[in-house]
Structure 1
């Protein structure tokens, strides 16, 4: 594990799968560690044959290319989450790494940076060369063992993929209907009535995936997850015209086979994506940006994203997140407010 940090923020980089692990922010006298770690991680448990490597270290935050098994022959979430990386340069607060295999013919580089007093990890992934269109996603896993409240930048609609993640009842169960669509996240069609996607959990044992399609009126895309018991907030920030989808993975005891074995609870995947392959009712024309990343020979193509964490009033939802000068302003629905240092042009 390679340790990276600055004043008030730190994380580790696991070069085996490109995992950002142990993300911790010191804020208002508290240490906030909002990311999940699967119960088998670090125990030495042997994974079943054929298990994608990223499952052995499941948790934290990782980059998916190609995302969601969208390329024949690649493991789930692609080579960027399942192959080793080489740290080619590093300082105390930054890291440059390169994937030890190509993706669609492209060399893939990862840049991770933190800065004194900024509660964010700045992430940049660069594809050099290659050809074709590739579904991508940044896959943060938020730890919600005692529940959470989910807020997002405005969405055109929410929809489930063509098929559930666990269609075989002998292996697991899902609680949403597939494929379905709703413009109201608090009234999504479930197998037993309406489901409120703005709360976690909403079912005692389920495995579900649902995608939010960004509205076209703005460029800053954000996802904010309040952890009421912990009194903190996880933030995910992106350029919505480059990553026009937010995929939420609800993993809460819904898979019964190894390594899940009915023991994987309280994990919300916040997956900021360009992945039209997941759409069931909408088309790529409905997106505020591309439905995939286009790779071009002899050119660089980049993806930027930031994750952060702060103290936050319990039970208060976020109603707005905006960039103001060199800061992010977070506004709650009951008057909560934070002004956070941020690199102004990072998401441009």
Structure 2
């Protein structure tokens, strides 16, 4: 048999293959064992055990999903039924229940959610392992890390583009006119805006700017008077009186007299008097009354402050006097005790 194959051999490579096959066949027949010097040692798997367990769970869950879907579509083969019973093991669900279709759907959805969670866990573990290996490689061999980050399919070492094609591309991108297709949209917008009356041109003069600025200052002055003329506590009385002195309420009242009418001045007076619970008479239309009322309020506030300061000073003097008397009594008592003992 070997002679037939050797005679049909046409070159040395075929003869070598025939002899190797014959020797291997004889060794298998007689059960001889010989070392495989040229074969590399079998390396262990680099996949972690936890990842392999999760992948096995995913494969098993996918098999269950396939069998459950097949059973739901009407496949009642014994192997399929046995797998369905394994999927519902540990539950009180029977295959003869009337709502078995709903239970099958719920079980399939539950398995799909588990598969999604397991796959997410694998992706998270892979990302963490990749970052860990890159950090360790960066500390040991940065050149090797940068080389591993290169993508040959993106930045290949092949021939570059033709220079003429590059010039033609950019010239066509920037030099040739472009026909826009917004014409129909502009016609629709123009037809919708045809019924709108155009606004008259507005001319802003220096007088308009001065009037707007004056009205703004007028409103700010009113707010300052209302805020300063209505103190809420004793500390606010002192602060408001000093603030009124610093801002010169008299000048503010004169400005209000120049800028507003008698009706506006009376309205300001009513607001101030309502906040201070003061009576308002019909004779208070004169803006000078406003200034007088504010000055009276300042004087009354100053008198209240002086009265409170006097009261506090008396209390402090009485407290100090009492403390000094107690200290003197204690001193004389301590001096008299040794004399009595002696």
TM range (shorter): under 0.3
Q: TM-score, normalised by structure 2?
A: 0.14
Q: TM-score, normalised by structure 1?
A: 0.14
Structure whose residues are more often helix by fraction: 2
Structure whose residues are more often strand by fraction: 1
Structure with the greater alpha carbon radius of gyration: 2
